[in-house]
Amino acid sequence: MTGETNKLSAMACRTLGEGKHFDGGGLYLHVMPNGSRLWRMKYRHAGAERLLALGAFPEVTLAEARDHREEARKLLRDGKDPMAERREREAKARAKAERAKIEGRETFGAVAEEWLAIKSVGWMPGQTAKETLRLRNHLLPWLGKLPVRKVGVVELRAVLDRIVKAGSLETAHRVRTMASAILRHAVQTGRAEQDAAASLRGYVPQPSKRHYGNIREPADVATLLRAIDGFGGTFPVRCALRLAPLFFCRPGELRGMEWRELEVDHPDGARWVIPAPRRKLRKRQKEHMDTPPHIVPLSRQALAILDELFPLTGAGRYVFPGARGAGRPMSDGAINVALRSLGYEAGTMTGHGFRHMARTLLAEMGWPREVCEAQMSHVVGGVEGVYNKALYLPERTKMMQQWADYLDTLKAGGNVVPMRRKA
């Protein structure tokens, strides 16, 4: 290992022909028949000759190859085998990488994404988007990189406190529930010992019970209907506002109404057929072939409004296309924004409030509970829900026309006492 060193030059390394070209101290450049230029170092350890690969030129420069030679010579002076030392370093690096890989799979964020992928199979796209946003806004920024085993009460409490201080109690409850589900998944897959979020059940204060703003006094309903007739916004939104009290369906069903869902020439009377996938049902019910659509009988007044709107939006898919393009329905807040523009704040009246309004007044008009519930598209529980599958379509058709006539009477300033239904 002694003798003259640094015999090669950078230019020589590029131009030398096939063969072994020594730089000294055991280091040489081996030019292969195929043109490859490989750095090698010959040395002896424990009486045996060995050969250490140091990389290829020009990826490893002459100066770098010499540095590697000096490092190897220092190890030899210390009685160590450079090749054995390299293998040990490589083994440690592989073990470290594997540990990092395993730890990466065992962070709270990794477990949360895994849980989300499993659960979203049973969710509708809207729910998946909502849950994903909640996870990424409220949990992952603070807990995502922590090992899931180290996510305890202290860490979770800090997350919940932050949400509570922002005044979002309902969100805090939902976030705690989500964290608990994720940690249970970690326990079930052997990556955590306990669900710390379960210990925080009851920690977040209960929010005030939310009631959708709604108007139920006939005189107030009359004022609202006249205000709607004076709405100065876009014509499609004005038509949606006028139809909302007539249909009293869920706001999402109304804004997503498609022209193809209307059967105006049906032999049993004009109707709006809301397909099962657009109803408020569990995903398995939405996708089950036996789940019926929800039928909304169309009154003369509803047909007249739709006839007015058809020349404007009838060539497209949606009855109420979005402001940013006909390919999407109007936004989910359009009705509420329109009501606020008329002076009806959220605590007074909302798009959902038309359902409360109709259900109250229809009961006062004497319509049977089962007919009203069928028209509200409510799921009836218990034994009644199992055995009573009647649609009550003839009764509902009469009820919807009488309801529309009643609203006209109110709007015109007539009798504000709910009319008893006709036999």
Which one is the CATH code of 10-102: 3.60.15.10, 3.30.160.390, 3.30.2000.10, 3.10.180.10?
Answer: 3.30.160.390
CA distance 114 to 108: 10
What percentage of the chain exceeds 70 in pLDDT?
89
Could you read off the pLDDT of 333-347 as tens digits, one per residue?
899 999 999 999 877
Percent of the chain with pLDDT over 90: 71
pLDDT at position 267 over 80: yes
Q: What is the pLDDT of residue 383?
A: 38
DSSP 8-state symbol, 330: P
Copy the structure tokens of residue 99: 């540990």
What DSSP element (H or E) covers 294?
strand 294-297
- Give the residue, 98 or 402, on which the prediction is more confident: 402
pLDDT of residue 419: 54
List the one residue out of 97, 114, 94, 98 whose CA is nearest residue 192: 114
Every domain of the chain and the residues it spans: 10-102, 108-200, 218-411
In the structure encoding, which two tokens stand for residue 221, read together?
């309903």
Tell me which fold the domain 218-411 belongs to: hpI Integrase; Chain A (1.10.443)
| CA separation for the pair 53, 325 (Å, rounded) | 64
Q: Contact, 351 vs 251, CB < 8 A?
A: yes
Q: What is the mean pLDDT of the chain?
A: 88
Higher pLDDT, 207 or 34: 34
**Residue 198 DSSP label:** G
> Which residues, in sequence order, are CB contacts of 25 under 8 Å at separation 6+?
1, 2, 3, 5, 41, 69, 73
Is 232 within 8 Å of 259 (Cβ atoms)? no
β 262-263/48-57 pair status:
unpaired
Q: In the prediction, which pLDDT does 348 show? A: 87
More confident residue, 280 or 19: 19
Superfamily of domain 108-200 in the CATH hierarchy:
Tyrosine recombinase, N-terminal domain (1.10.150.130)
Cα angle 43, 45, 49 (rounded to 5 degrees) comes to 50
pLDDT in tens, 301-335: 999 999 999 999 999 999 999 988 888 899 888 99
HSE, side-chain direction, 13 A CA sphere, residue 398: 12
Evaluate if residue 160 carries a pLDDT over 70.
Answer: yes
Q: Does the pLDDT value for residue 389 go beyond 50? A: no
Give the CB-side neighbour count of residue 342, counting CA atoms within 13 A: 26
Cβ distance 52 to 72 under 8 Å?
yes
Question: pTM value?
Answer: 0.57
Residue 417 has pLDDT above 60, yes or no: no
Q: Do domains 10-102 and 218-411 have the same CATH topology?
A: no
| 286 vs 11 pLDDT, higher one | 11
The gap from C-alpha 288 to its chain's centroid, in whole angstroms, comes to 23
Higher pLDDT, 313 or 4: 313
Angle subtended by helix axes 353-364 and 369-376, to nearest 10: 160
Cα within 13 Å of Cα(2), Cβ side? 0
